[in-house]
Amino acid sequence: MKTALLIIDVQNFFINKWTQQVPKNIVRLIEGGEFAKIIFTKFVNTADSNFVKQFNYTGCAKPPYSDIVKDLEPWVKKDNVFTKNTYSAFLQPADSAGKPGLAEFLKKNRLEEITVVGIDTENCVLTNARELFDRGYKVKVISEGCASSTGGPAQHEAALKIIKNNIGQVI
């Protein structure tokens, strides 16, 4: 079974006391795992995002805040980062240069199982895990590879329960 590691929004803006261990845990996972593909999502807030329009939230709009953390840079490539301005990475179509969106990328690479890690467990990780499930992928979420920057351990654990009961395996 072709497996990918999907790393959700592990960016400078989201690193705090609750999430600081996540990058190193992901590095250990990458170094110990055998993934056909390593894929990143990157949240970059834009003026037309619902975060700005509905909440007047303007954070994470530019570097260095929107950059993927340094620990993970060795695995960042031109074709494996999918930028988004909402919770789901599946809403972004192919870009103007012809780079496919995430849904097309997963299909093109014939991936069947997606291991998910990232920040925030209760928001983008949960949303994208559900999207993967709905699209027929086998989903695994690595608990130690996820955390909540805004809700702390309580929100992280609540999201993992939802994932375990409704979406896929939690390891």
pTM: 0.97
Residue 97 confidence (pLDDT) above 90? no
Domain positions in the chain: 3-170
Mean pLDDT value of segment 85-92: 94
What are the pLDDT digits (tens) for 110-133? 999 999 999 999 999 999 999 999
- Which of the listed CATH numbers 3.60.15.10, 3.40.50.850, 3.90.79.10, 3.40.50.300 matches domain 3-170? 3.40.50.850
pLDDT of residue 99: 84
Task: Evaluate if residue 72 carries a pLDDT over 80.
Answer: yes
- pLDDT of 94 strictly over 80: no
> According to the 3-state scheme, what is the secondary structure of the chain?
CCEEEEEECCEHHHCCCCCCCHHHHHHHHHHHCCCCEEEEEEECCCCCCHHHHHHCCCCCCCCCCCCECHHHHHHCCCCCEEEECCCCHHHCCCCCCCCCCHHHHHHHCCCCEEEEEEECHHHHHHHHHHHHHHCCCEEEEEEEEEECCCCHHHHHHHHHHHHHHHCCEEC
